[in-house]
């Protein structure tokens, strides 16, 4: 079992990632930490709490609130892509749902308690991770593996032609993380990995939605809006960048091709803000990350089917499900 913390801006595939973390037998999910990203911070917390609830795990895995805005810039929303991130579902919410410890301190305390044991899967802007690096200079050296969903490998962005959302929202945080000296930094990109390996056609998506379990119904509600948006911009399927990032950690056989890269993130330009320069070995630069070049999307699809088929008893009623 892999001890894991998921750092998330919970909407759409972030929800799927939390479900995978809770229900995949290979994962020992220690905590969920929240960071500003996809939708309003309050909505993200609600989405994360509903996700814990639909799996019947509300209160079992702590939910920590981290940084509610990027380090140096105003927050940028992806509500045009994800709607509210959970298809209009709602649940009774109170303070008891949230752990009082700040997300950055939860990350720091967890790796200090078990140096070299905890892996972090960062599937939102890297604000919490960068803040942990700055607050505790030993943090990076004590994390077992850091898996990041962000950037593109010299390819397309999704917010601008050159930038992927997570790196675009907080480029300074992303650069701090690239420079921090994590021993095992792995990156899942938007282009090509998400677009080629983790985008399931509407037909395949509908097949994934055939499960009548609470999890199966929840999956469809949280993913529908994003699929509609994707098709409107020519991405012909349901995109699963975040969940395949955790999948690659839990099931290394999903990794079909990878390379050592020097990754840097553009922080100066307006035009190319958040662009990830990924220099491969030809350039003789000291590598700081392993970038996945090809993942086994079909094998991951089968893992998702197993998760969606799981019967659960939701901890609290979810209205609209
Ligand atoms: C990333 O941005 C978010 O909208 C998704 O959750 C994913 O983490 C893709 O660019
Ligand atoms: Ca995300």
Q: Which ligand is nearest to the CA of 79?
A: 1
Q: Please tell me if the CB atom of residue 190 comes closer than 6 angstroms to any atom of ligand 1.
A: yes
Domain borders along the chain are 2-319
DSSP string spanning 154-198? Answer: SS--SSBTTB-HHHHH-HHHHHHHHHS--SSEEEE-IIIIIIIIS
* pLDDT of 23: 98
| pLDDT beneath 50, residues of the chain | none
Ligand 2 center to 245 CA (angstroms): 10
* pLDDT of 95: 87
CA atoms of 258 and 254, how far apart (whole Å): 11
Q: Please tell me if the CB atom of residue 153 comes closer than 6 angstroms to any atom of ligand 1.
A: no
Q: 2-319 sits in which CATH class? A: alpha beta
Q: Which ligand is nearest to the CA of 77?
A: 1
* pLDDT of 234: 96
- Of all protein residues, whose CA lies closest to atom 4 belonging to ligand 1? 38
Q: Give Cα 74 distance to the centre of its chain.
A: 20
Among 6, 166, 230, which residue has the most ligand 1 atoms within 8 Å of its CB, making it the best to mutate? 166
CA atoms of 251 and 143, how far apart (whole Å): 19
Report the share of the chain in percent with pLDDT over 90. Answer: 99
* pLDDT of 177: 98
């Amino acid at each position: 079992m892999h001890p894991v913390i998921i750092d998330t801006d919970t909407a759409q595939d972030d929800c799927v990632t939390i479900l995978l973390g809770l229900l995949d037998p290979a994962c020992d999910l220690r905590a969920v930490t929240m960071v500003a990203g996809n939708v309003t911070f309050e909505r993200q917390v609600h989405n994360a709490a509903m996700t814990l609830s639909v799996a019947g795990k509300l209160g079992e895995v702590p939910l920590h609130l981290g940084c509610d805005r990027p380090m140096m810039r105003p927050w940028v929303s992806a509500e045009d892509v994800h709607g509210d991130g959970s298809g209009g579902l709602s649940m009774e919410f109170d303070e008891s749902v949230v752990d009082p410890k700040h997300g950055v301190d939860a990350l720091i305390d967890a790796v200090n308690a078990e140096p070299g044991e905890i892996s972090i899967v960062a599937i939102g802007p890297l604000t919490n991770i960068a803040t942990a690096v700055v607050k505790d200079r030993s943090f990076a050296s004590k994390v077992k593996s850091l898996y990041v969903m962000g950037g593109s490998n010299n390819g397309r962005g999704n917010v601008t032609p050159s930038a992927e959302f997570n790196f675009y929202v907080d480029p300074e945080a992303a650069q701090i993380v690239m420079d921090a000296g994590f021993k095992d930094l792995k990156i899942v990109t938007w282009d090509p990995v998400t677009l080629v390996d983790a985008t399931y056609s509407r037909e395949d998506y509908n097949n994934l939605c055939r499960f009548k379990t609470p999890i199966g119904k929840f999956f469809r509600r949280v993913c529908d809006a994003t699929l509609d948006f994707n098709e409107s911009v020519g991405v012909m399927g349901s995109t699963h960048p975040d969940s395949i990032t955790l999948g690659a950690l839990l099931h290394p056989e999903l990794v079909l091709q990878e390379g050592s890269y020097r990754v840097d993130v553009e922080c100066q330009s307006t035009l190319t803000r958040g662009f990830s320069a990924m220099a491969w070995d030809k350039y003789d630069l000291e590598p700081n990350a392993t970038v996945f070049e090809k993942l086994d999307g079909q094998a991951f699809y089968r893992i998702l089917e197993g998760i969606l088929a799981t019967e659960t008893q939701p901890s609290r009623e979810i209205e609209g499900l």
